[in-house]
Amino acid sequence: MIINGKNIAAKIKTQVKNEVEELKKQGITPGLAVILIGEDPASKIYVNNKKKACEETGIYSEEYFLPKSTSQKDLINLIKKLNSNNSINGILTQLPLPNHIDEHEIANYIDPQKDVDVFNPSNIGKIMTGDAKLLPCTPAGIIEILDHEKISVDGKNCVVIGRSNIVGKPIALLLLQKNGTVTICHSKTKNLKEICQMADIIISAVGKPCFVTKDMIKKETVVIDVGINRKSDGTICGDVDFENVAPLTSYITPVPGGVGPMTIAMLMKNTLIATKLQNNI
Ligand code: NAD
């Protein structure tokens, strides 16, 4: 079965929209601020997509397009202003940041209650202990997909390929919380093929086209493809050799139209959650 991430994302955005309408009746309008530093065209597209999703869900949004030369101090000052701005409930700094800005340092300044991209180490730590109110958008989107399709993780062999802070590590922890037996693979992993052949669920977050091939999976595996790779003709594809892998799977997410739309939907959901937290709702 090919999972339709667009449809699941649309459902989530509708739920968010309905809740936002209810909040507005109480005089509360959720607000999201997105900061982009530099001219990266892909990042600009992401920021505009976030703005569109805010419009769809009734969330107020502010976009800050800052020059590449912006200093760390100026960025911190902007974050501090947004932290104390009551019309803003969520703050997101679009990655990647320019080299002269220390990502880890910036993360410390985002108010944990407004940290909708789960960037601040205090929120990241809560994923580890299992009491996070805000979950990173892409891993949270993957869990929503699994829940929506009623795919049980309990006792399943889950293989996560990729160990990034934004996808690989947090999704591994969330699968563990759902009682999966989780293996994290990365660029130094030996016997990747054999490890994947044991998997009931594979999450691939590598960033290489046709990386997951049919000889790596057993029948009925669930395959979640997080990768976004741009092909020479300008179209995008995931990490999985979809055409040859899909017939072997029980469920698979396509690229585009799988995990991607979920990430933005979860950002809207996080902005709603953050707004409620800040208003003790
Ligand atoms: P990353 O780009 O920071 O790192 C890639 C990971 O792949 C590393 O952990 C590395 O160890 C692993 N890797 C590289 N070569 C490998 C190999 N030969 N065998 C096993 N592992 C290997 O990771 P990221 O930021 O999580 O991004 C991964 C992909 O997911 C990218 O294509 C990115 O664009 C995409 N992505 C998509 C979404 C979405 O919303 N769909 C969100 C975030 C990232």
Report d(CA 268, CA 19) in Å as an integer: 11
Long-range contacts of 94-97 (CB under 8 A, 24+ apart): 94/34, 94/35, 94/36, 94/37, 94/43, 94/46, 94/47, 95/43, 95/166, 96/40, 96/43, 97/37
State pLDDT tens for residues 60-80: 999 999 999 999 999 999 999
State pLDDT tens for residues 6-47: 999 999 999 999 999 999 999 999 999 999 999 998 899 999
Strands in 2-89 per DSSP E = 31-37, 60-66
pLDDT of residue 21: 98
**Closest C-alpha among 142, 149, 120 to residue 132:** 120
State pLDDT tens for residues 195-228: 999 999 999 999 999 999 999 999 999 999 999 9
Pair 161, 202: CB distance under 8 Å:
yes
Q: Which of 13, 94, 115, 239 is catalytic?
A: 94
Verify whether ligand 1 is closer than 6 Å to residue 113 (CB atom).
no
Q: Which of 50, 114, 156, 269 is catalytic?
A: 50
Find where tokens 């997101």 sit.
92
Cβ neighbours for 138, distance < 8 A, ≥ 6 positions apart:
166, 167, 171, 205, 226, 259, 262, 263, 266
Residue 50 is a catalytic residue: yes
Report d(CA 202, CA 158) in Å as an integer: 6
Residue 94 is a catalytic residue: yes
Residue 117 is a catalytic residue: yes
Find where tokens 């209810």 sit.
22
Pair 135, 118: CB distance under 8 Å:
yes
**Closest C-alpha among 244, 164, 148, 177 to residue 203:** 164
* pTM of this prediction exceeds 0.75: yes
